[in-house]
Structure 1
Amino acid sequence: MAVIIFLLQFLAAVLLLPLHILYYLGLWDPITKKFFPHLQSRLCITYNKLMVDEKRKLFRNMSDFSGPSKGLRLLELGCGTGANFKFYPSGCKVTCLDINPNFQSFLSKSQAENDHLIYERFLVASADNMTPVADGSMDVVVCTLLACSVPDTPAVLKEVKRVLRPGGAFYFMEHVADINESSWISFFQKVLNPSWKLIFDGCSIRKTTWKDLENAKFSELNLRHIIAPLNIKLAKPHIIGYAVK
C-alpha cells in the first residue's frame, strides 16, 4: 500500500510539475499569498452556508467567557476574510491576526457588514509568535481552518494559552486527517496531501490536531469529531469544540 501511495503521489507531482518548479525557485509563495485571499473569499461563502448550524452551536456560549472588563475581548487567529464575524456576540471587542497582509481589504468589507462588533486592530503576525498580544489579555481566542496550514501546532497552542486570561476559552473548528486509516478518504488524503499543500498555501489534509489539543493540558477540553457536510470529501473529517485555560 505504501508503494502505491508513493507512486500516486509521484504522478500527482508530475502533473503539477510547473508549480513545483516555481515553489523550489521561491516564486510560488508570493503568488499564492496574493491569490489565496481571493480564493478563500469565495470558498468561505460556501463553507459558511454548509456549516452555519455547526458554527452557531459552537459559538453560542461565547458570552459566558466575558471577563471582568466590559465587553468580551476576542482574538481571532488566521482571521482571513472575517467569515466568523457574524457569529460573535454584539459588542465583542475583536482583534484580528493573520500572517498574510493581503487579507486586510477583505476584512474591511466584513467589518462594514458586521457593525455589531468593535474592531480594535489588525495584526500581521504568525499564530505561533504573537508577541504584539499581551499575556492574559484575551477572554476568547478563535481559530477556524488555520491549524491545517501552520507547521507547529503545539507552538500555536502554547501562544493561545499565554494570551488567554485564566478561565478564558479557545474555540476551534478544523478539518483533519480521517481517524479511520483504512478508509478511502484517508487513502486519498495521503496520496494528494503533498500537492494539496502546494495549491492551498501550505494547507495539510493530514493534520492530527486533536492530539495536539489533548496534549496542550487545558483545564477543560470539549472536542467532537464530525463529518462535515462539505462537497470536498477530503476535507470532510473535522474536529470542533472549545478548551478552557
Structure 2
Amino acid sequence: MEASCLVLLLRTCIQIFLLPIYLLWYVGIWGSLCQRAFPYFMAVLSVHYNKKMNAKKKELLSNLKDFASPAGELTLLEIGTGTGTNFQYYPRGCRVICTDPNPNFKKFLEKNLSENPHVKLERCLVAPAEDLHQIPDASVDVVVSTLVLCSVKSTERVLEEVLRVLRPGGAFYFMEHVAGAPGSWSLFWQQIYAPAFTILFDGCHLTRETWKGLEKAGFSELKLRHIDAPLKWNPAKPHVIGYAVK
C-alpha cells in the first residue's frame, strides 16, 4: 500500500512538471510537434543505444543468413526503421524493406543508407506496423523490430501482420524494452515514469509485457530471453531479445 501511494505521489509530481506539454497535447499541438522533433532526438539516442547494446545486437542478428531463401538471397522487412540504426548489422547484399509511420525520419534514414552501402534498399513505406497491406503474403524471409513494440497501438495486430508477410520457415527478430519483474525496483520506477514516457517518446509504454504477446502469437518456435540492458538510470533497462520462427 505504501509503495503504491509513493508511486502515485511521484507520478503526480512529474505530471505537474510536464503540465505545459499536457496542455499542448490537449489542444492538439503536441502531436505534430513531437512527430517533427522525435527523429532528431532518436538520431542522437540511437547512437548511444547502439554503443551500449552493440554486442547484444551483433549476437542477436548474427544468424540472419540462416533464413535466406533457397537461392541464397535474404529479403528483410524492418518495422519501425526510424533512422536506420540497424543497417550496420545486416549481412552484405541483404535486400531491405523499410517501414515507419513517421515520414520525418527520411533524411536520417538516407544518411544511414549512404554509410551502409552493403545494404540494398528495396522499398521504403510510410506505414504503421499494424497495417502492412502493401507487402504481399509470405514475401519476406525475416522481419526485424527493435524498440518498436512498446509504442504500437496493438501488439497483437502487429504480430498477425508479421506472421502474414513471413514466408514459411522465416523468422521474426526482436529487441524490445519491457515491464520489469513484479516487485522489482525496475517496475517501481517504470510505474512512476510511464505517463511521461508515453507523451515524450511518441506513445512509448514502459510497462508493456511484450513477451506474452509473442508467446501467444502462434510461432512454431520461440527463442526468447530476458536481460537488463546496460543503460544507466534508465527505467527502460528490462529487455526481451530473441527470434521466433514461423
Task: Provide TM-score, normalisation by structure 1.
Answer: 0.97
Q: For residue 13 of structure 1, what is the aligned residue in structure 2?
A: 15
What is residue 117 of structure 2 aligned with on the other side? 115
Distance 1:10 1:43 in 2: 26
Alignment pair present for 1:127 and 2:134: no
The 4+ residue runs of structure 1 with deviation greater than 3 A are none
Correspondence list, 1:79-90, <5 A: 79-90=81-92
Residue matched to 2:140? 138
Secondary structure of 1:80's partner?
A: coil
SS of equivalent to 1:147: coil
Q: Name the counterpart of 2:205.
A: 204
CA distance in 2, matches of 1:70, 1:243: 20
Inter-CA distance 150–232: structure 2 relative to 1 (3 Å threshold): farther
Matched, 1:161 2:163: yes
Q: Deviations over 1:185-231 (max 9, x none)?
A: 21110011011111111111111000110011100000010011112
Tell me the C-alpha RMSD between the 2 structures: 1.0
Q: Hey, what does 1:44 align to over in structure 2?
A: 46
- In the TM superposition, what whole-angstrom CA distance separates every residue of 1:106-125 from its partner, at most 9, and x where no partner exists? 01000000000111111000
CA distance in 1, matches of 2:150, 2:160: 17
> Separation in 1 of the partners of 2:197 and 2:102?
19
Unaligned runs of 5+ in 2: none
Q: Which amino acid aligns with 2:98?
A: C
Unaligned stretches of 5+ in structure 1? none
Residue 20 of structure 1: how far off its partner (Å): 0.4
Q: Deviations over 1:222-245 (max 9, x none)?
A: 001001111243011001000000
> Matches of 1:229 and 1:213 in 2, distance apart?
24
Percentage of matched positions with identical amino acids: 50
Matches within 5 A, 1:1-245: 1-179=3-181, 181-245=182-246
The one-letter amino acid of 1:173's match is M
Post-superposition CA distance 1:170-190 (Å, at most 9, x none): 0000011102x2122211100
CA distance in 2, matches of 1:100, 1:233: 25
Total equivalences in the alignment: 244
Specify the SS of the correspondent of 2:114. Answer: helix
The AA in structure 2 aligned to 1:13 is: Q
- Displacement of 1:69 in angstroms is 4.2
